[in-house]
Amino acid sequence: MKAIINVSLKAGVLDSQGKAVHHALDSLNFEGVEDVRVGKQIIMQTSHTDEDKAREEITQMCEDLLANTVIEDYEIELVK
């Protein structure tokens, strides 16, 4: 089973990298971009066949290591 984990800063947390990208897009004359937030995506292959157990273990991985839950949110997508 494949797990796709998207990690992003929580609303209200300053995203300096997103601001830099937004400024660069403005400098390149791209119009209509109102806000940019930069996150990370983690893709992992697991040997799990039970979706509930996979989600439980991957949630624990996110809580312990993959996301800083003080300032970041995460979403888990499982693909068979």
Read off the pLDDT of residues 36-72 as tens digits, 9 standing for 90 and up.
999 999 999 999 999 999 999 999 999 999 999 999 9
Domain spans, the chain: 2-79
What are the strands, taking DSSP E only, across the chain?
A: 2-9, 40-45, 72-79
Question: The domain at 2-79 falls in which architecture?
Answer: 2-Layer Sandwich (3.30)
| pLDDT band, very low/low/confident/very high, at 6 (cuts 50, 70, 90) | very high
Q: Considering the entire predicted model, what is its pTM?
A: 0.89
Whole-angstrom distance, CA of residue 10 vs CA of residue 39: 10
Token pair for residue 3? 């797990």
Q: Which residue, among 68, 65, 74, has the nearest Cα to 4 in the 3D structure? A: 74
